[in-house]
Amino acid sequence: MNSSALRYSFMFTLCLILISHSPLLANARVDVQRRLLGNDSDLISQICNKILHDKINCTNILRADPRVLQAKTLYEFSKAVLELALKKGIEGQNLLKELEKKVNSLAIAECANSHYNVVVGSFKMALIELKQDPQSANYDAKVAGNEAKSCETFLVVSHIVNPVISAFNHQISLLSNIAFLATNKFII
């Protein structure tokens, strides 16, 4: 390596070190988020294009929520998606608890009091963690969807066919996937 190349390499390394310790780095994440976010439909398209098996439902559910549409940063978008998912998780759990009162079913009770406790709890934790620990929020967003799938599996094994519960389980799985993808972008 000649001295000119060595000097260039040294200067480049020095610049990287200085930049990494710069107070501007804190704002760099926000700038990256703004560039990735673009406008609301841009991010909705980016997320939903990754959900090939349910792109249309993904787009419809996100465009139907005003908080998602009003999000201006990845953080706001992720938070709005998690809030929507939590709201739907609570609705699903309430539905299951009402059905549990009417129908004597171990599977429905298991879904209401076990699986959906985790769904709701995971989305709540993801919201709490989002700002300080987006990686944990990302993990918790994914766990919620796994529990909705477990509920659906438990119903199938128990020979319970209920299109309303299945629709909620599917919606929670989809929202979990959307929240996972959104919070994953936020981790950058």
CATH code of the domain covering residue 120: 1.20.140.40
Share of the chain above pLDDT 90, in %: 69
Give the residue, 14 or 187, on which the prediction is more confident: 187
Confidence of residue 3 (pLDDT cuts 50, 70, 90): low
Find the domain containing 12 and state its range: 1-36
Q: What is the mean pLDDT of residues 69-96?
A: 95
Are residue 49 and residue 105 in the same domain, yes or no?
yes
Share of the chain above pLDDT 70, in %: 77
Are residue 5 and residue 68 in the same domain, yes or no?
no
Query: pLDDT tens-digit profile of 24-75?
Result: 433 334 444 444 444 444 789 999 999 988 999 999 999 999 999 999 889 9
Overall number of domains in the chain: 2
Q: Which helix (H) or strand (E) holds 28?
A: helix 25-37
**pLDDT for res 15:** 40
In this structure, which long-range contacts are made by residues 52-61, counting pairs with CB atoms below 8 Å and at least 24 apart in sequence? 54/174, 57/171, 57/174, 58/174, 58/178, 61/171, 61/174, 61/175, 61/178
